[in-house]
Amino acid sequence: MKKVGILQLNPHTFWKRGGGEIQASKYVSLLKNYGFEAEWFNFNQPTQYDIIHFFGANIQLAEWGKYATKEGIKVVGTPILFPTKNTFKYKAFLAFDALLPFPTSLRYRKNLLEHTNMLIVNTQAEKDYISEAYHIDSQKIKVLGSGVSESLFDSILERSDLPDAVSNWDGYFLMVGRVTPLKAQLKVLNILANTNFKVVICGPPDNYEENYINEIRKLVNSHPDRYCWLEGLPADSQNLKALYRFSTAHLLFSDSDVAPLVNMEAAALGTLVVSKAHITVKEILGDLAIYVDEHNMIERLNGINNLSSNERTEKSNAIKNLVKTNFTWESIVENSAKFYNQL
């Protein structure tokens, strides 16, 4: 049985797990079902692996592939790398970077991507960007997506599973994820400040963004009847699942997510998905998500509130079935194992 070392090393998210860490952990737990022994990469025995699979494209990983391949180890990467705004800008930066006499973070990232046997990405848009911007052979880039566990679809939830702070709340919009400027929770709270919409934020604070966090706290404290911040719940807790299930919709206004797990989790738990109209999100969810910007957000959220019960059920069932059919961790890891066997 071949052995796989799962490597995820991002100093920013190391202390509090994000989507990349969750994705990597699914490979650790599921690969054994498909003929591979898998574990978190052991730094004390780095040459024991047949395959190293890294997650993320941060520069701390820059030369792992370069030296691993010299040891005869196959290297697979899931870079989670796509600038949701202005891909042309980054392509131009990369072209200019090649002329500089010193390495930059973009060059380190290019080095990481080049020294791989295969890349597994979340969307076709991400594949196209990596191939064109970093000049990586498109033949070695596979598209699988991100997902949820099959068991999530069978969750049995009651209102009593809601956290105490919102146990009596109805009609709230939910925002799950790290509380950081990249996720734009503050912008949403400001847009909705003079409305009657209820918003529940669930996620740990980004302690590197003190001013941003203070602004969020100030707004939440000034609207205690409409805004609530739950500073993180375990990813598999009944509390979090219930927050999804009993929300009016999940709202993601981020500019930094490639294939957001929170969208998948919301859909799997029967919740409508509201997002910015990023190419990667639209590729996955198509017209089954509800797309907003800062100009039409209030109008679109009002539209959701005005849906009939039958309309809401029809929409939530459609997006739930899409995710169930195409985006489970079990199918994603199984297909990854098939790719491993091609190396």
Q: Over pLDDT 70: what percentage of the chain?
A: 91
Asked whether residue 16 carries a pLDDT value surpassing 80, the answer given is no
Q: Contact 7/52 with Cβ under 8 angstroms?
A: yes
CATH number for the domain formed by residue range(s) 150-326: 3.40.50.2000
Task: Give me the pLDDT at residue 8, please.
Answer: 86
Say how far apart CA 55 and CA 89 lie, in whole Å: 24
Closest CA to 49 of 60, 58, 41, 61: 41
In 98-141, which residue ranges form alpha helices assigned H by DSSP?
A: 105-114, 124-134
C-alpha angle with apex 166: 163 to 172, nearest 5 degrees? 125
Mean of pLDDT values over 19-29: 88
**Per-residue pLDDT band at 248 (split at 50, 70, 90):** very high
Say how far apart CA 23 and CA 8 lie, in whole Å: 10
Say how far apart CA 6 and CA 42 lie, in whole Å: 9
Lowest-confidence region among 127-136, 178-187, 250-259: 250-259
**β-sheet bridge partners, residue 195:** none
Phi, psi values for residue 204, rounded to 5°: -75, 150
What is the maximal distance between C-alpha atoms in the chain?
62
**Per-residue pLDDT band at 207 (split at 50, 70, 90):** confident
Task: Give me the pLDDT at residue 143, please.
Answer: 96
pTM metric for this prediction = 0.90
2-147+328-340 folds as: Rossmann fold (3.40.50)
Polymer length in residues for the chain? 343
Task: Give me the pLDDT at residue 260, please.
Answer: 86
Find how far residue 189's CA is from the centre of its chain: 21
Mean of pLDDT values over 2-29: 80
pLDDT in tens, 45-78: 999 999 999 998 887 787 888 889 989 999 999 9
Domain positions in the chain are 2-147+328-340, 150-326
Q: 74-78 and 118-121: which strand pairing?
A: parallel
Sheet holding 51-55, edge to edge: 36-40, 2-8, 51-55, 74-78, 118-121, 141-143
Asked whether residue 282 carries a pLDDT value surpassing 80, the answer given is yes
